[in-house]
Amino acid sequence: MHRALNQKPLSAAEIAALLPKADDELERAYLTLAMDVVRQELASGADQDLRSALRALGDAIDRLPPASFPTARTL
């Protein structure tokens, strides 16, 4: 999922539409972070640095092995 998000900028509304489809808390946290970033007013040039940082974070998340965490529903 993260690779598709890194190909072109999405609007906050498009990211919000992905939240219900997130597979786990980590993916929801990543999407929430991306949505918060899109909503920020950035200084000139900072947008590219931030995009690169989000891309690196998404790539790192993609490389993590699947893990199951207890949630409120399973406790």
Stated pTM of the model: 0.67
Checking if the pLDDT of 67 tops 60, the result is yes
Q: How far apart are CA 50 and CA 13, in angstroms?
A: 19
- Model confidence at 74: pLDDT above 60: no
Residue with more model confidence, 1 or 12: 12
The domain ranges of the chain are: 2-63
What is the rounded CA–CA span in Å between residue 47 and residue 51?
6
Number of H helices, E strands in the chain: 4, 0
Choose between 67 and 37: higher pLDDT: 37
What tokens appear for 23 in the block? 């597979």
Q: Rg of the chain over CA atoms, in angstroms?
A: 13
